[in-house]
Each structure stands twice: as structure tokens, then as C-alpha cells.
Structure 1
Amino acid sequence: MADSPRLLNRRSFLVTSGLAVGTVAAAGAAPGLAGSAQAAPRPPGRRSGPLPSDPFTLGVASGDPDHAGFVLWTRLAPRPLAEDGLGGMPAAAVPVRWEVSSDERFKRVERRGTATARPESGHSVHVELDGLRPGRDYWYRFRAGDHLSPVGRARTAPRPDSFGPALAMGFVSCSQFEHGHFTAYRRLAEENPDLILHLGDYQYEYKKGAYTIPGGNVRDHEGPETVTLGGYRLRHAQYKTDPDLQAAHLAAPWAVVFDDHEVENNWAGWVPEAGSDTPDPAAFRARRAAAFQAYYENMPLRRRSIPNGPDIQVYRRLRWGKLANFHMLDTRQFRDDQACGDGNKVCPEANDPKRTITGAEQEKWLIDGFRRSEARWDVIGQQVFFAQRDSDAGPLKKTSQDAWDGYVASRGRITKGWMDAGVRNPVVLTGDVHAHWASDLKADYDDPTSKTVGAELVCSSVTSGGDGADSDPATQPYLKINPHLRFYNNQRGYVLTRIDRHEMKADFKTLSTVRSPGATASTKATFVIEDRVPGLEQTYLRPYNTPRSAMRPDRDLLQETIDNETRRP
């Protein structure tokens, strides 16, 4: 099917304009922001002020859309890899002008204003817009001194009383800079999404070479393991300089939540990882505060998410008209420590009814949201595997204590919450595990004949773990042990969904490699969730590429999966 004019124009704009940093026509631009998206020429004798070079090296972004607006973001950093994490900026506030237009050439500017980039906020800018029209595309840009930013696209949600057109939503997770090129982000940008969810591990905390993959890492981290505010700022800046990541931010508004690596591997509440660089409670509180401050400074979040020391509010609800509620969760900050020493193991403590992965307040907020929901789809955007995954084919139950399997009662209460509330179509979206999965959600996972009460879609990593390998679901031992698990693939990629009143269609996209840039994305499998029909219907599965004679034994595959998810580099 040919692209519609709107999609074709948007794709052409994003892909052919060099990350949309091409020339913006002066004839239709607003006063003061016309001209090239590179530094505008200065009249003879005019001083450049505190920004002699391009401060928009980290790109621009939008996020958390509603029917009346969204957040605009940028962070000034003329020297993004400065060791102090300050991006080469002076210790002074800098005015930043912004514009929002209803056309990509800025002939119809709808809103404009000035924000202040302050040193105490890492010279980041967050502009919360209201009063825009629902269900519309908008384009935005910034100017600081003589420098004009790239142009990004955002979109408002439909009116609260309207379904609006079908929603193209993609979701991603786990982008380890050292493990490969961020091609998945660019391919996702080229899909013309209306909304992108990032479900955690946007950046990794490790020092250079601490987390290696077979064949060696593709590129290196700058700086030591992130512990201080300067260190986290530098790490975020290094990731943000990646052109493929910038392309995905330019393409659509994002809704983000963090997992563990934005702070430290497998942290839980106030408990650092075993062997942490910050084992002392006071030191870990300071580390959390630094990580959250840098996270807010580098994400298109609303002011409700401004950190308060070691605390940050990121669980929230986004409403896409009558079509969908997105319940974005925080499964790190309020959880009990992982049971039985963490890892993948037999652990009776996982069934303790007092254990929680969300905390009591967030759990109540989520279940109250289910009760009040009038949406066609209730989508839970969260970080770690929700369905049961038993890796023992015998009578014992051996599960990951870092996932919802380590908090069985918590999972049960939330599942019962959406069942009791009569949620029409519950769908859980997940990241973390560096592989594609699809699952039916069951009322009782120990009884394969029990009622199917929802579906879970799990995206692979952008790069984490390296290339991985094409995988035949028919031979995956997890799927044999757990009949509610329907699909598995161990290549890198993303998931693209199309949501309308009748169904949610999910395409599992994979890349052949992340060791070199430019790989194409292909659809490995497609699943459909029909309105009022819980569970998954598989409609497409691309043939497996590797001959059976080259396959490893099931047990080796299972152990490799467990090791990849639980190892501490």
C-alpha cells in the first residue's frame, strides 16, 4: 500500500533532511528564527556571546503528549563530551527561544516563547505546552544565540471524547552504547510512529569494557562507572550524540520510564546491587539523587517529574482519547529487595504476600485507574517480565527474582485488579530481557487450562547483548515449559504496534546486525489482539534462517538466556 501524503511528506522530511537539520525556508519562518538550521552568519563585528559553537549537539525531543499539548526538550552542550559533564557551557543562564508550527516549514507558527537554560539544571530546557489543537501534527525548534536547532515533530492526542485515527506506537528498551549501533532507533523513526515508549535502560552505567559481548564491544563508554551527577550527565550526553537516537526523538513524542541501568544494575528501592560501587546507604542515596537529576535533565518529562533528592515521580498515566490509556509504571523505586539473593532460582520467598514490586501507593493508583477507565485499551508500560517464566521442566519452579516472578502476590493483585474492574482489553508492554517475547497472561499460570486474562508483548534490546541470533520458537525450551509463552526471538530490534477500535496489531521487528551501521529491519512475527478477546493470535512468522543441524541443544539455549539476563559483568 502506498504511503498517504501526510506520511510520505513526514518520512521524506525526517530521512532526507539529515536528521531534519537541513535548511528551513526563511520566507515562512517566524522573525528571529528564520534561516539555516546551522549557525546563522553573524554581521561583521557582532559578538557571538557565550555560545561560539553549536549548542544543540544533543538534539531535541518532545514527550508526554495529551490532547492539548506536550513537552519540548533540549539541552545545550557545545562540547558534549566534556569530562565534567557540563557540556562546555558557561556557569550562566542562557535564554533559549522556541517555536511550534503546524507545518514543517514554519509558515504557520502557532506558539513561540523563551525559556531559560540554567547551569543547575545542566542547561536543559523543558517547555510544557497547552492550548494546542487535538489530534494534530506539530513541528518545533529552538534557538540559542545565533544557533538554530534541528526540527522535531510532535503530535497531540485525540480529544478525550474521540477515538481518533489508528495509533502507530512503537516501543523499545535496552540500548547499551558499547554493544552496537543504534540502527533500531533510526528504523523505528522511519516507521512514522505517532508515539514511542521507552521502557528502560536508556543508558548503561558501566565503565569502558566492564560489560563485554562475544567478539568484543563495538564502541566505548566515556568516563568511569557513573556515580556522580557529572558522570551521569556525561553518559547521557554521549548517548544523545548518537544520530540514530536523535532521529527517533525527532520523529515523534516519547513517553519514558527507567529501569535499573539508569542508576545501577539490579538496584531495588534503597538497596544497591551486591558488589556496588556505592554500598553505603548514604552513598547510594546520593547516587540515586544524581542519577535521577541527570535523567530528568535529559528526558522530555513534565515538571511533575522534577526530582526531590533521591526521589522522582515517573509513574503516570497518558490518555490517547477514548482509544487507549497508557499506565506507565516504576518497578524499581518502590520494590522490595529481590528475594533469595536475586538470580534465577527456586525461591519460596517469592510467594510472600507482603512482597511488592510497585509499592502500595502505586499499586492503588494503578488499580484505581483500571476502575475509572473508559478506554478501549488499557496498556501497562513497564520494565520487567510480567508473565511467569519457569526454567525448570520438572516439578520445581525456577524463576527470575528480578522480574514479577519474584513478586507473585503483587502480580496477582494487579491482575485481579483489572479483572475485577472489567478492563476491556489489558495489555502489558515490557523491556529488559534483550529478546522478543509474546505471551498470554493467565489467571493461574500453574494451570495451562485456566482463563486467559490479557496479553504481554516484550521488545528486544536496541543493542544490549550484541547481535544475538535468529531463533526458532519451536525449539525454545521456555516455550515448551510455559505453554502460555507464544513467541521468542533473540535478535535486536523493536516492536511496532497499530491500535484501533477493533484490534492491536504488533509487528516484532529484527535487525541482522548491530556491529555495523545501516542494517535493514524486517518483520519476524506479527500478533493480533482482538477487541474483547484476551490473548494473542499469531498471523505471521518469518521462516527461521539457521538449519537444524547448526542449532544448539535446548538446554544450552535455555542456560544462555538465563545467563544473559542475570549476569553481572
Structure 2
Amino acid sequence: MNDSNHSEKLNRRSFLKKAGQGAGIALGVSIANTLPVNFASAAPSSLSYPFTLGVASGDPLPDGVVLWTRLAPDPLNGGGMKPTPLPVQWEISLDSAFKKIVQRGTEISKPELGHSVHVEVNGLQPSKWYYYRFKAGTEISPVGRTKTAPALHSQVDHLTFAFASCQNWPAGYYTAYQHMAKDDLDLVIHLGDYIYEGTHNSTGVRPINKEYPEIYTIDDYRNRYALYKLDSDLQAAHANFPWLVTNDDHEVDNNWAGDVPQDPDKQSREAFLKRRAIAFQAYYEHMPLRRTSYPNGSSMQIYRRLSFGNLVDFSLLDTRQYRDDQANGDGWDSPTPESMDASRTLLGEKQERWLLDGLAASRAKWKVLAQQVFFARRDGAFGPDQQSFSMDAWDGYPGARQRILNFLAEKNISNPVVLTGDVHSSWANEVKANFDDANSKNVAVEFVGTSITSGGDGADVRPDTAQTLEENPHIKFFSNQRGYVRCKLTQQTWQTDYLVLPYVTRPGAPIETRASFVVEDGKPSLLAKTEPASV
């Protein structure tokens, strides 16, 4: 669906008034006059405008989708709601004017979940666009648009989605989301670092009227999510498409691994697990996730699989919660007996088996591993006798990676594609069955997406770009600019477009396609698309 007027329909006067952090794109059209008579008051009429954080949808199935909002009239100060449950009404319609309503209901916003609302709608038609909205008191939310997945195993000829990660709020403006919201997409995938847990202060490029220290309490985490979600460009991207989300480290603590924090000398295991439980709760409160992902203390079911007909299966992975601690610290280092220990795990035994079984059983044309950290080998040292790898990435767990590579090769799994975030730069990689053998066959491809803002403006190349590509011939592309990645799938080809911005330290940047690669069915190699690709 390509509706050029859609971005105007999704925004309301109060949405603009409250969501003014960053570069807004909404023009704002009031929808109050389109309400049916029986869409009655759901809370006291004196309630201040509570939908400051917008709306979102996610995890689409053939017959349903999750609808999300959170009541927060005072979003940066704990939300501003009274500590009592409140009913929130919702509607889902075939049209943005809500003249063709197909379902409506009431969900209770609970104070123990920050007055967030997660509606799991079912009974919808597959592969269909819908519009939705919420009401609390006399206040109406912005309108969101979402789409259900195709029927299970049905013939699907094409799908277009974008993926993004790493949106450090002080580092820049969310202009990439402004462009993404206008793109012609079926869904969006977010690969982690939705927030950053560290100190936010006036050294960033965004105006800030107070310092935000590192976060530890539930109110801290809620306020940090609110700061990010107040951005109108991010809200527009959420409102226009369903999202699939998985987290990385900064939603909890930088480079955490299992039950080990970044700084175990400062955080005990017990203190960190308490913090992790708080962080998981806040993540659930602010994401369009199903009840199956509701946290159980310091544990949370994040890895899951969603299918889109016979075209693609998305396996969303969790590379933090079950991993062994990083070897040799969490920086860059040469291989050591610890890092090369084949028993070490990044996914945990249960998730690893779930992934391999799912790949073997998949009947989809494309099998996607949507995950966080660099999968292909990336040697950062130059010369035949030197090696340096990121201990936080799959290079720090080569035995775990090799188990997956061996499985792909031995089972002849067709068309696996790895999607990656984390590193604040764009890469396109061919994944070898054996990275120690330059003549080894390719068993997959990997597309690494740059950040939305993290790292600031960046530049197309770095001083070490040429040497890095020479040292790693399976890496076919690199760019250090910000932006997002768009993928267009058919039964015959997969096309990936790297969309980049010249700057993020001020709003209003244009966007262009820096590079495009095509993967043909059954051929896990990257073909550079030489002709200009349209944005």
C-alpha cells in the first residue's frame, strides 16, 4: 500500500503538541468528529492527554496483531498517572476514518505495568492493512496502521521491510525514521539498542534542559523510554507499520552477558539480576509484544519465529540472555584458549537447538536470522600473522558460530540470511562454511545495518576501510554513515538497499541509496546492483 496522504492521517493536534522532540513530519488532522456514538468515555473526562508516546503494533500473525500504547500525560516524570487501573478502549478498522470498524474492545491499563496497553487482536483477515486507535476519557490517540501476515504456507510473491538499530538520543536526530515512515513497507524490524542506559547530558547535539544520569530503577527506565518515544519521527515509523523487535545490550547495560554486567566490580550478580528484571519489564511495557514475552523476574522470552507465507521465516534471536561471559574482557583481542573453547555458547543450548530445528523444518524460500552482533568473521588486524576480533561478537564465540555453519552446510539449508545491528555501520558479508579456508563455499549472506544516530554523523569511509576489506575478502561493502536498510523479497531474488544520511547532528537531512545488493534464490553470494536505486 502506498498512500501519500497517510502520514497526515496518522497524527492529531495533541500528538504534535506533545511529541515535539526532534524533527516532526506530521501535519495533524483531528479525528474526533469521526468517532461513532457508542465509542463511550473510558476514563474520567479530566484526564490530561495521555497518548504522548504514540501508538504501535507488532508481531503480526495471519489472523491478528498486537496493538500498543501507554498512558503517560507526564511522560518524563514517571508517566503522571494515578496508581489505579484504568480502562482503555480500542478500535480496529478497514479505513482511517473508522467507518468500517471490524473489532473494538476494552483493555485495562495497570499501574504495575506503567499503564501500558497490549491488545492481542485476533479474528482478522490475512495479509490485510488495518487502522487502529485508542481512547481514554475523552482523549483519542493518534491513528496507527498495521498489517497482518499472510496465511500460513500461502503463496507470497513479494514483501518489503526495513531494519534498524542503535538510536542513541543525544547523538542525533531521528531523520532516518522520518524517511522510513514515508517508505512503502510491509513491516519494520528493530535489532536492538532502542534506548541507551548511560548518562545523557548537554554534550549531545539535542537540546536538553537537565542531565539524565545512568538508569537503574523502574522509573528511570520508564523515563528513558519516554524521552526516546516522544520523538515524532520515531512515533510516525511505529504508527505506519507493524514492528518486530528484539533487544541488545543497551536496553539493560552495555555489553552485558548472561548474568554478568559490564562492570562486575561495581554491580554484584544479585544487583545486576534485579536491574535486568527492571529493564526487561520496562522493555515489555514499551514494545508491541505478546503476553508470551511477559518477563518472569529477570528472564524474558525474546527469541521467537514469525512466518510470512511461503516467502520468509523470521527467527528473532536473543544473543544476550543466555551467552557465556565474553572472553578476555569484552573488547578486541587475538584468539585465546578461552575464546576458542568450542563449548562456549552465544545463544544457549536450548535456543541454539530451537534455531537449527526451525531452519531444518522451514518451508519458506528465505530463512532470516534477525539478531544483534556481527556474525561473519571480521579480522581487525592487518597482516598474515596477526588477528584481532571483537570478543562481544560471534568472533568471540567461534565454536558456537561453527556449529551453525556446519549445520547450514551439512543440511544444505537454502537461502539463510543474517540481519545484524550493533556496530553503527553498514556491511555486506558472504558467510563462509569455514572462514579458515578462503576457498570454502558460501552458506549464507549477512546484511549489517548502520545506526539511526549512534556514532554521530560518521563518514562513508574510515582510515582503515581499505585494509579491513582487503583483510576480509568475504566482506563486500562498508559504509560509516547513518540510516536504515530496506529489503525487497520475491520468490526469485532478495534485494538489500543501504539508505544513508549525510548528517544526523541537525534535523532535515536528505536520504540516498548508498549501495544495493541482490541475492539470487539458491546462490548465497552478493551481486552488487550497479544501476542507481531509487529511494
TM-score, normalised to structure 2, is 0.93
Superposed displacement of residue 383, structure 1: 0.2
Alignment correspondent of 2:279: 291
C-alpha deviation, 1:96, in angstroms: 0.2
Matched residue pairs, number?
Answer: 519
- 1:233-244 residue pairs with structure 2 within 5 A? 233-244=222-233
Q: How much does 1:512 deviate?
A: 1.1
Q: Say which SS state the counterpart of residue 372 (structure 2) adopts.
A: coil
Q: C-alpha distance in 2, partners of 1:473/1:496?
A: 27
What does the per-residue CA deviation read over 1:373-430, in whole Å, with 9 as the maximum and x for residues that have no partner? 0000000100000000001122232100000000001111112223333322100000
**2:404 is aligned with 1:414:** yes
Write out per-residue CA displacement over residues 332-375 of structure 1, whole angstroms, 9 at most, x where no aligned residue.
00000000122111022222111100000000000010111000
Q: Call closer, same or farther: CA 1:19–1:68 in 2, change over 3 Å.
A: farther
1:143 aligned counterpart, secondary structure: strand
Alignment of 1:440-519 (within 5 A): 440-471=430-461, 475-519=465-509
User: Which residue of 317, 320, 332 corresponds with 1:344?
Assistant: 332
Which residue identity lines up with residue 65 of structure 2 in the other structure?
Answer: F
Partner Cα separation in structure 1 for residue 409 and residue 240 of structure 2:
36
- Partners of 2:454 and 2:491 lie apart in 1 by 34
Unaligned regions of 5+ residues in structure 1, if any? 35-39, 41-46, 544-569
1:62-461 aligned at under 5 Å gives the runs 62-82=57-77, 85=78, 87-209=79-201, 216-220=204-208, 223-274=212-263, 279-348=267-336, 349-394=338-383, 395-461=385-451
Judging changes above 3 Å, is the alpha-carbon distance between structure 1 residues 199 and 241 closer, same or farther for their aligned structure 2 residues?
same
Provide the secondary structure at the position in 2 that maps to 1:351. Answer: coil
Structure 1 contact 430–457 (Cα < 8 Å) conserved = yes
Inter-partner Cα distance in structure 1 for 2:531 and 2:433 = 27
Displacement of 1:107 in angstroms is 1.0
Partner Cα distance (1:287, 1:206) in 2:
14
- Say if 1:20 and 1:152, in contact at 8 Å, map to a contact too: no
CA distance in 1, matches of 2:309, 2:132: 23
Of 18, 29, 41 in structure 2, the residue corresponding to residue 22 of structure 1 is 29
1:134-190 CA-partner distances (Å, limit 9, x unpaired): 010000000000100000010011111323341110000000000011111111111
Work out the percentage of aligned pairs sharing the same amino acid: 49
Shift of 1:52: 2.9
1:129 positional shift? 1.1
Q: Find the residue that maps to 2:82 and give its secondary structure.
A: coil
* Matches of 2:211 and 2:243, distance apart in 1: 26
Give the deviation of 1:7 after TM superposition.
3.9
Match of 1:230, SS?
Answer: helix
Cα distance in 1 between the residues matched to 2:463 and 2:312: 30
CA separation of 1:30 and 1:531: change in aligned 2, threshold 3 A: farther
Does the Cα contact within 8 Å between 1:68 and 1:133 map onto a contact in 2?
A: yes
Mapped contact 1:328–1:381 kept (Cα < 8 A): yes
- Residue 198 of structure 1 contacts residue 257 of structure 1 at CA under 8 Å; is this kept in 2? yes
Partner Cα distance (2:158, 2:10) in 1: 21
User: What is the SS of the residue equivalent to 1:72?
Assistant: strand
Q: Is the 8 A contact 1:342 1:400 kept in 2?
A: yes
Answer yes or no: is the 8 Å Cα contact 2:10–2:28 preserved in 1: no
Deviations along 1:240-266, one digit per CA (max 9) or x if unpaired, are 111011011001000101000000100
Q: Distance in 2 between matches of 1:51 and 1:469?
A: 50
Amino acid at match of 1:31: V
More displaced stretch, 485-494 vs 51-60: 51-60
User: Aligned with 1:116: secondary structure?
Assistant: strand
> TM-score normalised to the size of structure 1?
0.87
My pick for the range that moved more, 420-429 or 526-535, is 420-429
**Aligned match of 2:20:** none
Q: Distance in 2 between matches of 1:253 and 1:81?
A: 25
Are the structure 2 counterparts of residues 62 and 344 from structure 1 closer, same or farther at C-alpha, using a change threshold of 3 Å? same
**1:21: how far off?**
4.8
